[in-house]
């Protein structure tokens, strides 16, 4: 399957995704010129395997966003074939912050997952070396969570 | 002290013999010019068995700080990410904001952005090539590279008052227009630079000792470069023909004509040489941009002081000197970012050190680290 | 007792010579390196910065004398002098005036090549007595390098001796003919490269620059002790320059007295400038590449040169 003349990368991606992996099709949407695939947590690794087979050979990054009741795990994948990037998102419950590691598919995910663990506390099963990367090993807490507090955090003044 | 021998531990090597592995800590501060990186090396005699970079010494929590600042106030923070390349660090962030808030930047501002980013690319590559020279002992190559960088940094000083952290590219455009006579001065620099760069090429890369020190060292295959998320000269040195300016063009790059230098062998020599050749290409880009630039506004009209983008997220990336630098912004409709994530190429490229170092000696380790060209402001954020 | 007096006099002369060599050598290097790098070099201290080295030496003398805790104090303090003295002595063996050397000896060339090798012991002891493992390794590496490069250095000069028929430096200088230049060009290049390696200079300074990663053999030396190491380096540079000019490039060319000495000096400064030029242009060799160069490249070529010289001596001159 190749790109049709005049078709954007994302449209081509949608077409190919829907034909090869039809069960992922309803989870895919194009929002503001970005492709987003929102999958349940259990299906995350499976979707990643499928996307890699589809042509996403480059791993952009993986990060998390603290949404209050859950963490939104955001993974960015890039493909030279589609000329476009894709967000692979999943919701990780706050009290069970565990996810599957991507390192078996893309070795590049190594340090990114360590950083997510360090700053958010989400553990990745299957990661070869799950420990803190940016903060000292004996640091307590996960700073990028919205409820993180320690003595150095200064509350924002109200007048701004 | 910069180097401490932590321990000697007996291990059983693969062929069953007992090896006394020396664990050497190359401390966070050491005279090689790359910044604060601690490398724990396990040596079997002279040969490195395992090299593990430990980062985080420059972690300042920029992403957390950004959550407490307005979108405009975050721009100086991005300066300090890749401090060797503030212009394009600002630009990556501003592109993400403009994508999120759906701001259209005026054309003159886009041209100015391209000009300063390419100048910054040359300056950053001079830092990279110069440090490769300093690592291998070619002090003159270092100084010649810095002469080029000095002239560019002087241009920036005249443009925005600062030599290192510019805070110039803002969401919606650039903060101020080019001063009178700046274009002529820029043209002069860009006319003079390529011959100096070619002389530097002959001085350093044409030298057989530099070849012996850098060829065949730290070889990265094309497949590994893609799998490990390498980008920029690190990947292009291995033959990966991927440059965001061509593969996913942005700004006014589609109107400019330039080539992408690519290496063959993926060793330190190719990675460093690609940087120099890219710097020469950047000179051509700047010349074309200076020819094409038209008078006009440099900031989007009617932009509110306090930007309140739509709730949602956006990611945009540019080709920085180190690779693909991207910023992922999540907004909840308030004047402050809800989450800012910086995808820094140096962070992704530095993972390769653990892969490239084994099998080489400690002298080669510094050369490999230099060829990966990390800037720790970006790695640690 | 006259031997005591003459010994003291020679010692004083050697010390003065090497101090002047260092004073001039450092200034010249900084100026030449500066100009190569599009900058000026020292400018403020004295006219054209010529007093800069003196100012630096005064500063170094005024520094605190630090001996590391783990160091062996007596050997630590003695090692710089062990490096310095042989090189200072070798300066006296060079015929600076036609037909006369301060320390004239019928085996002067042999002495010139052999005596500075005693400084290897100083390097080894300096590294070992610093009290840390990497100082020891640095000293071992420096010593291995210096010993390896002795061989091509000696062989290249032996080629000259074979043709000249004598080991007295003044005689060799007097026997110089214009056709020695093309005949011994290869030997001269080998002598130059090997001498640079002997001084742990230029592209062969990994044992010192290893201090970027691991401590080099003189990393723990501060103040005047470090200055002594530096003086030996510059003294060695000038000795190489003078000796190379004297035997390979014609020396005083038969001119008498001060005129001849000036001619020799100009040629020596030319060689010193070449040494400085080489250091600032080339990156440095890795240790294994350095040793390979000595044993696998320079020594065979020097042997071939010796054979050629011997053939010339037997077939044409005798």
Give average pLDDT by consecutive 10-residue segment, chain A, 160 residues.
Answer: 73 85 85 86 89 88 90 90 85 89 90 92 89 88 85 69
C313 CB-side CA count, 13 A = 17
CATH 3.30.460.80 is right for the domain spanning A9-125: yes
> Could you tell me if C1 lies within 8 Å of chain B, comparing CB atoms?
no
> Could you tell me if A35 lies within 8 Å of chain B, comparing CB atoms?
no
Q: What CA–CA distance (Å, rounded) separates C14 from C20?
A: 10
- Residue C274 pLDDT grade (very low, low, confident, very high; cuts 50, 70, 90): very high
With 60 as the cut, is the pLDDT of residue C217 above it? yes
What is the nearest CA distance from B323 to chain C, expressed in angstroms? 27
Instruction: Kindly list the domain boundaries of chain A, sorted by start residue.
Output: 9-125
Chain B residue numbers with beta carbons less than 8 Å from the beta carbon of A107 are 227-229, 351
The residues on B that touch C, with CB distances below 8 Å, are 3, 5, 24, 26, 30-32, 133, 136-141, 143-144, 147, 203-204, 207, 209-210, 212-213, 361-366
Neighbours of C174 (CB within 10 A): 17
> Could you tell me if B312 lies within 8 Å of chain A, comparing CB atoms?
yes
Per-residue pLDDT, averaged over C97-107, amounts to 80
What is the nearest CA distance from B76 to chain C, expressed in angstroms? 33
What per-residue confidence (pLDDT) applies to B15? 64
- In chain C, the largest separation of any two C-alpha atoms, in whole Å, equals 63
Chain C residue numbers with beta carbons less than 8 Å from the beta carbon of B365 are 213
Q: Are A102 and A48 in contact (CB under 8 A)?
A: yes
With a CB cutoff of 8 Å and minimum separation 6, the contacts of C179 are none
What is the distance of C-alpha B262 from the center of its chain?
Answer: 17
* Backbone torsions φ then ψ of C304, nearest 5 degrees: -65, -40
Q: Are C134 and C206 in contact (CB under 8 A)?
A: no
Q: Are B182 and B158 in contact (CB under 8 A)?
A: yes
Strands A123-125 and A98-100: parallel
What per-residue confidence (pLDDT) applies to C233? 86
What is the distance of C-alpha A62 from the center of its chain?
Answer: 4
Chain B residue numbers with beta carbons less than 8 Å from the beta carbon of A147 are none
What per-residue confidence (pLDDT) applies to B143? 92
> Could you tell me if B330 lies within 8 Å of chain A, comparing CB atoms?
yes
What is the nearest CA distance from C280 to chain B, expressed in angstroms? 6
Burial (0-12, 13-18, 19+ Cβ within 10 Å), A56: buried
Query: Above pLDDT 70, what percent of chain C?
Result: 95
> Could you tell me if B60 lies within 8 Å of chain A, comparing CB atoms?
no
Chain A residue numbers with beta carbons less than 8 Å from the beta carbon of B313 are 34, 65, 74, 87
- Looking at this predicted complex, what is its ipTM? 0.90
Beta bridge partners of A62: A75
Per-residue pLDDT, averaged over C10-28, amounts to 86
Q: Please, what is the average pLDDT of chain B?
A: 88
Q: Are B64 and B58 in contact (CB under 8 A)?
A: no
- Residue B5 pLDDT grade (very low, low, confident, very high; cuts 50, 70, 90): low
Residue found by looking up tokens 């030599």 in the block? B163
What per-residue confidence (pLDDT) applies to B11? 66
Chain B residue numbers with beta carbons less than 8 Å from the beta carbon of A80 are 242, 247
What per-residue confidence (pLDDT) applies to B33? 53
Structure tokens at C1: 């007792």
Give pLDDT tens digits for A1-24.
677 777 777 888 888 888 888 888
Q: Which chain B residue's Cα is nearest to C293?
A: B209
- Please judge whether B366 and C285 are an interchain contact, meaning their C-beta atoms are less than 8 angstroms apart: no
What is the distance of C-alpha C155 from the center of its chain?
Answer: 17
Q: Across chain C, how many H-helices and E-strands are there?
A: 14, 0
With 80 as the cut, is the pLDDT of residue C214 above it? no
Residue-range domains of chain B with CATH: 3-54 (no CATH), 62-380 (1.10.645.10)
What per-residue confidence (pLDDT) applies to C201? 84
What per-residue confidence (pLDDT) applies to B14? 64
What per-residue confidence (pLDDT) applies to B17? 60
Closest CA to C152 of C186, C120, C122: C186
A7 CB-side CA count, 13 A = 14
Burial A136-150 (b: 16+ CB within 10 A, else e): eeeeeebbbbeeeee
Degrees to nearest 5, angle at CA A86 with A84 and A90: 180
pTM: 0.88
What per-residue confidence (pLDDT) applies to A159? 63
Assess whether chains A and C touch, using the rule of 3 or more C-beta pairs within 8 angstroms: no
Helix (H) or strand (E) holding C317: none
Q: Which chain C residue's Cα is nearest to B138?
A: C283
- Residue B2 pLDDT grade (very low, low, confident, very high; cuts 50, 70, 90): very low
What is the nearest CA distance from B261 to chain A, expressed in angstroms? 18
Interface test with B, best of A8, A37, A63 (most B CBs within 10 A): A63
Per-residue pLDDT, averaged over C142-157, amounts to 90
Give pLDDT tens digits for C39-67.
888 888 888 888 888 888 888 888 888 78
Supply the Cα-derived Rg of chain B in whole angstroms: 21
Highest mean pLDDT: which range of A37-41, C100-104, C126-130, C285-289: A37-41
What per-residue confidence (pLDDT) applies to C286? 84
**How many residue pairs from chains B and C have C-beta atoms closer than 8 A?**
73
H helices within C106-179, ranges in order? 108-114, 119-129, 133-164, 169-174
Structure tokens at B214: 């850098």
> Could you tell me if B381 lies within 8 Å of chain A, comparing CB atoms?
yes
What is the distance of C-alpha A86 from the center of its chain?
Answer: 10
Per-residue pLDDT, averaged over B176-185, amounts to 92
Q: What CA–CA distance (Å, rounded) separates B209 from B134?
A: 13
What per-residue confidence (pLDDT) applies to C258? 82
Burial (0-12, 13-18, 19+ Cβ within 10 Å), A13: buried
Q: What subunits make at least 3 CB pairs under 8 angstroms with B?
A: A, C
For the packed helices B139-160 and C2-36, what is the interaxial angle rounded to 10 degrees? 40
How far the first Cα of chain C sits from its last, in Å, is 44
Per-residue pLDDT, averaged over C110-135, amounts to 84
Higher pLDDT, B14 or A48: A48
Residue found by looking up tokens 């402001």 in the block? B377
What per-residue confidence (pLDDT) applies to B1? 37
DSSP per-residue codes, C246-281 = HHTS-TTTT--HHHHHHHHHHHHHHHHHHHHHHHHH
What per-residue confidence (pLDDT) applies to A20? 85
Interface test with C, best of B135, B209, B217, B269 (most C CBs within 10 A): B209
């Amino acid at each position: 399957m190749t790109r049709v003349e005049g078709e954007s990368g994302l449209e081509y991606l949608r077409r190919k995704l829907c034909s090869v992996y039809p069960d992922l099709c309803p989870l895919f949407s194009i929002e503001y010129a970005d492709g987003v695939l929102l999958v349940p947590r259990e299906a995350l690794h499976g979707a990643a395997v499928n996307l890699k087979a589809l042509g996403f050979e480059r791993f952009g990054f993986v990060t998390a966003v603290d949404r209050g009741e859950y963490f939104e795990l955001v993974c960015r994948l890039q493909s030279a074939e589609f000329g476009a990037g894709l967000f692979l998102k999943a919701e990780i419950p706050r009290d069970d912050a565990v996810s599957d590691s991507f390192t078996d598919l893309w070795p590049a995910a190594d340090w990114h997952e360590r950083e997510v663990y360090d700053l958010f506390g989400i553990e990745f099963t299957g990661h070869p070396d799950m420990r803190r990367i940016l903060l000292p090993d004996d640091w307590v807490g996960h700073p990028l969570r919205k409820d993180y507090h320690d003595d150095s955090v200064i509350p924002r003044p109200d007048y701004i | 002290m910069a180097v401490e021998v932590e321990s000697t531990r007996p291990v059983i090597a693969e062929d069953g013999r007992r090896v006394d592995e020396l664990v050497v800590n190359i401390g966070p501060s050491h005279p090689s010019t790359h910044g604060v990186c601690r490398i724990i090396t396990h040596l079997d005699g002279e040969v490195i068995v395992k090299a593990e970079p430990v980062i985080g010494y420059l972690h300042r929590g920029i992403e957390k700080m950004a959550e407490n600042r307005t979108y405009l106030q975050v721009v100086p923070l991005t300066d300090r990410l890749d401090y060797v390349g503030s212009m394009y660090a600002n630009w990556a962030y501003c592109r993400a904001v403009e994508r999120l808030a759906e701001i259209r930047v005026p054309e003159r501002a886009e041209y100015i952005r391209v000009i300063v980013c390419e100048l910054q690319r040359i300056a950053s590559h001079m830092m990279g090539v110069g440090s490769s020279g300093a690592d291998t002992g070619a002090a003159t190559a270092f100084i010649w590279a810095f002469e080029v960088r000095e002239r560019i940094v002087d241009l920036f000083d005249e443009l925005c008052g600062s030599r290192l952290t510019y805070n110039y590219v803002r969401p919606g455009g650039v903060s101020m227009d080019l001063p009178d006579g700046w274009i002529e001065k820029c043209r002069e620099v860009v006319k003079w630079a390529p011959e100096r760069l070619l002389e530097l090429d002959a001085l350093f890369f044409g030298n057989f000792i530099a070849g012996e020190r850098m060829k065949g060292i730290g070889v990265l295959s094309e497949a590994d470069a893609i799998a490990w998320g390498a980008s920029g000269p690190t990947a292009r040195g291995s033959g990966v023909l991927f440059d965001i300016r061509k593969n996913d063009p942005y700004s006014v790059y589609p109107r400019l004509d330039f080539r992408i230098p690519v290496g063959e062998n993926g060793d330190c020599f190719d990675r460093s040489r690609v940087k120099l050749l890219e710097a020469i290409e950047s000179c051509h880009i700047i010349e074309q941009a200076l020819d094409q630039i038209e008078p006009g506004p440099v900031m989007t009209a009617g932009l509110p002081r306090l930007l309140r983008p739509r709730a949602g997220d956006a990611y945009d990336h540019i080709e920085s000197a180190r690779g693909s630098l991207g910023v992922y912004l999540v907004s909840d409709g308030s004047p402050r970012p809800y989450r800012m994530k910086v995808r820094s190429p140096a962070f992704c490229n530095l993972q390769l050190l653990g892969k490239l170092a084994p099998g080489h000696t400690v002298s080669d380790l510094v050369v490999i680290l230099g060829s990966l060209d990390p800037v720790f402001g970006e790695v640690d954020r | 007792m006259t031997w005591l007096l003459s010994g003291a006099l020679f010692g004083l002369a050697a010390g003065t010579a090497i101090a002047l060599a260092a004073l001039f050598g450092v200034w010249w290097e900084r100026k030449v390196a500066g100009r190569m790098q599009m900058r000026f070099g020292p400018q403020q201290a004295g006219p054209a910065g010529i007093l800069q080295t003196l100012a630096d030496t005064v500063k170094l003398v005024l520094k605190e004398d630090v001996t590391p805790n783990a160091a062996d104090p007596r050997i630590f303090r003695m090692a710089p002098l062990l490096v310095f003295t042989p090189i200072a002595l070798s300066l006296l063996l060079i015929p600076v005036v036609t037909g006369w050397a301060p320390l004239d000896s019928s085996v002067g060339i042999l002495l010139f090549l052999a005596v500075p090798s005693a400084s290897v012991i100083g390097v080894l002891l300096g590294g070992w007595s610093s009290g840390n493992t990497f100082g020891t390794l640095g000293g071992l590496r420096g010593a291995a390098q210096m010993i390896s490069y002795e061989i091509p250095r000696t062989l290249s000069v032996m080629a000259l001796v074979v043709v000249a028929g004598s080991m007295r430096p003044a005689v060799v200088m007097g026997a110089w003919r214009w056709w020695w230049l093309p005949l011994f060009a290869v030997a001269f290049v080998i002598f130059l490269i090997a001498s640079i390696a002997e001084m742990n200079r230029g592209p062969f300074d990994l044992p010192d620059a290893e201090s970027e990663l691991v401590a080099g053999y003189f990393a723990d030396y501060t103040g005047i002790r470090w200055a002594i190491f530096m003086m030996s380096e510059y003294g060695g540079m000038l000795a190489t320059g003078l000796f190379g000019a004297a035997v390979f490039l014609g020396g005083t060319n038969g001119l008498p007295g001060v005129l001849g000495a000036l001619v020799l000096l100009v040629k020596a400064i030319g060689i010193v400038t070449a040494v400085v030029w080489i250091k600032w242009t080339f990156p440095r060799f890795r240790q294994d590449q350095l040793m390979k160069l000595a044993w696998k490249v320079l020594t065979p070529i020097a042997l071939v040169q010796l054979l050629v010289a011997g053939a010339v001596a037997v077939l044409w001159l005798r």
